[in-house]
Structure 1
């Protein structure tokens, strides 16, 4: 782990921190292999899916091409990004040493084995493939819970609850698929888990990053700090998602999710994201979070029969979840590799591509006659977003950390 940060330091409570100075840089910190692997998975899985839709190849074997595609977007690409974030954030929350070196390599290989297993179902069988793939998330859950408990950061367990729900959703996804039914419940549970993690973590990072940027700019019109209103919004969002998972077409679901959409919109407004328009690296977080209330509104519309359920899924997955992941990936990569925290032109283009993809993909529900063309456009935009990330940030992930960086 050839890192510039090699000294041992201590945080409050005398907890040591630091990174070893031996081994490959890629496995020195959790965001490095998992952001790189996740971005590569996003591109390769999309290319394979496009080729499968065009009839050039078969994918997924007995697992099914559609089920494979849905799984790899939610639990292949998605789980890698969440893991990279948590393995980097949890040490900051707890003050404990990060998972690094050989243990991090083992975790990455376990994730990679899951990707190989699901494209090899015809060779190793459906159940063995599912068992191999399902081993990763419980392992990450144990690692994160151990660190948070050891660091006595009990409040952070609510974030890990989302990881626990995601773990259950993955197991249920395999069960529903192998049982021959569509993984409808597990898909909704996974999407709800990801979005609730955004709701919880977003309430921590968006006001903080916005305040820091405004303070750096000499302004004092800061976001409203976390208070009882934020807690109310979070508590309402949980039953709203629970109703959507179990009763997606209920009028009760429509009412509760519409209320959640309104409150989430007010919460976002309190963070004053428009004040950061000069720095895309900050404002993109607000734009991504804006798709949280949009997602709840879409759920409500679908429950009333005004929108197709597949469109709702893509508003939340491509829009809410993926745009926030890309926003966090770019910021975290720049910050933790010693780069200046400001977005380049390439980064801004990648943001534009993923937002355009988020608008294009759900539109097939309204323009079914143009679905093939929309699929192609959405796929190209997706590949552009993550291809540009790999071009710009891939070298940063495998290189030594720069000595210093400007912060905001």
Structure 2
């Protein structure tokens, strides 16, 4: 009997992730500044929900699922699309609240076992980390159910949707640190050796281990409902400050400035640097109990934006032509993401009080992902 035909998951999930990224941020700004309140699912923390539980999970699906039969891939894609539409249009409905956890749990079912074969504990961290990210929509569902049906219990939890989203961002920070290092280290090593330069540092496993521990300790108190929020954020802030220093040293030791002929590799280095800066400023905000939104956006816009676009471009070009992404595409998209990150940071904690900066950020972000989507759709024809 003939085995069912398989298709790479990234061919579907990466374009959908880029489309969601291009739409979500401008629509969330429009929903508030226009006074229309539409789409309702992107008001308040709604855009954060979609970026963590929609965009990020689509990236994880595209990168980790590999080749899958249509019987696995199409239900996952359909469930993801249904969850996104339901959240944007009817976010308070049970349908919207249930679809995101359903997709996340189904994704975890297919992905997490793929990482169980690793022997070193550092390599085995990927599965539990992806599982944690996939369980966050379920925690969101439980939190909203508690507020709806057991408000007295919910008030005593010392837990909120904002705190859960902050934990989600730090989970993505840990995942980006880990996966980014696994991409940058071998590529930088090969590039330097081809130029006759002996690399000063390769994977740097001790630093990777330290970062896993520090970021894990930063995430844990935010996910424990019984821990006082003030204590949880101060502890998390201390861990983030330490992690920022390790991230910066690790990135510096790769000597990526010597790889000028590889703009895609330089872009990954810029993304890693965004993680370090975002961790530093986020740690300061957490420790001082200040508004953390501007610093968190350096991680989600600068770090996630630069690294996600780099990963998608890299995978598409490798499969289509076995070459690194073109210089023009990398520079254009990386610059647009940087403008988006800096504009959002400059708009401060009361972002809607700076509508021009906010629109610049949203427009730059959207243009970066529209350009990426256009290139992926063009390359899709070569990969069929």
Residue in structure 1 matching 2:78, options 109, 113, 126: 109
Over 3 Å counting, the alpha-carbon distance change for 1:307 and 1:119 in structure 2 is: closer
Q: Which position in structure 2 is the counterpart of 1:8?
A: none
Query: Greater CA deviation, 389-398 or 324-333?
Result: 389-398
Distance 1:44 1:345 in 2: 23
Q: Which position in structure 2 is the counterpart of 1:238?
A: 216
Query: Greater CA deviation, 211-220 or 379-388?
Result: 211-220
Distance 2:94 2:196 in 1: 59
| 1:379 Cα deviation after fit | 0.7
Residue in structure 2 matching 1:78, options 35, 51, 56: 56
Over 3 Å counting, the alpha-carbon distance change for 1:28 and 1:398 in structure 2 is: farther
Q: Which position in structure 2 is the counterpart of 1:206?
A: 184
CA offset digits 1:295-346 (Å, max 9, x no partner): 2211222134385311122122112222211111111111122342142313
Q: Which position in structure 2 is the counterpart of 1:44?
A: 23
Distance 1:309 1:346 in 2: 32
Residue in structure 1 matching 2:364, options 381, 391, 395: 381
The answer to whether the Cα contact below 8 Å between 1:145 and 1:157 also exists between their aligned partners in 2 is no
Q: Which position in structure 1 is the counterpart of 2:98?
A: 131
Does residue 33 of structure 2 align to residue 54 of structure 1?
A: yes
3-state SS, counterpart of residue 28 of structure 1: strand
Q: Which position in structure 1 is the counterpart of 2:134?
A: 167
| 1:153 Cα deviation after fit | 3.1
3-state SS, counterpart of residue 264 of structure 2: helix
CA offset digits 1:371-391 (Å, max 9, x no partner): 111111001101111011012
**How many aligned positions are there?**
364
CA offset digits 1:231-281 (Å, max 9, x no partner): 223222221333566656755444332222112211112222222122211
Query: Greater CA deviation, 245-254 or 223-232?
Result: 245-254
| 1:176 Cα deviation after fit | 3.6
What is the CA RMSD across the aligned residues, in angstroms?
2.7
Q: Which position in structure 2 is the counterpart of 1:360?
A: 343
Query: Greater CA deviation, 162-171 or 349-358?
Result: 162-171
- For structure 2, which runs of at least 5 residues remain unmatched after alignment? 149-153, 155-159
Over 3 Å counting, the alpha-carbon distance change for 1:254 and 1:185 in structure 2 is: closer
The answer to whether the Cα contact below 8 Å between 1:207 and 1:225 also exists between their aligned partners in 2 is yes
| 1:230 Cα deviation after fit | 2.7
Q: Which position in structure 2 is the counterpart of 1:92?
A: none
User: TM-score, length-normalised on structure 2?
Assistant: 0.85
CA offset digits 1:137-162 (Å, max 9, x no partner): 1111111123334xx33554311222
CA offset digits 1:20-43 (Å, max 9, x no partner): 7x6xxxx72011100011011111
Over 3 Å counting, the alpha-carbon distance change for 1:115 and 1:265 in structure 2 is: same
Residue in structure 2 matching 1:121, options 90, 99, 102: 90
Query: Greater CA deviation, 34-43 or 164-173?
Result: 164-173
- For structure 1, which runs of at least 5 residues remain unmatched after alignment? 1-18, 89-97, 402-408
Distance 2:35 2:353 in 1: 21
Distance 2:13 2:336 in 1: 22
Distance 2:352 2:10 in 1: 41
Distance 1:72 1:302 in 2: 23
Q: Which position in structure 1 is the counterpart of 2:373?
A: 390
Distance 2:351 2:168 in 1: 26
Q: Which position in structure 1 is the counterpart of 2:306?
A: 323
User: TM-score, length-normalised on structure 1?
Assistant: 0.81
Structure 1 or 2: more helix by fraction: 2
The answer to whether the Cα contact below 8 Å between 2:31 and 2:42 also exists between their aligned partners in 1 is no
| 1:51 Cα deviation after fit | 2.7
Q: Which position in structure 2 is the counterpart of 1:261?
A: 244
Distance 1:174 1:362 in 2: 30
Distance 1:304 1:50 in 2: 29
3-state SS, counterpart of residue 66 of structure 1: coil
CA offset digits 1:163-213 (Å, max 9, x no partner): 111122222233445537951121012111111111222232211111122
Q: Which position in structure 2 is the counterpart of 1:94?
A: none
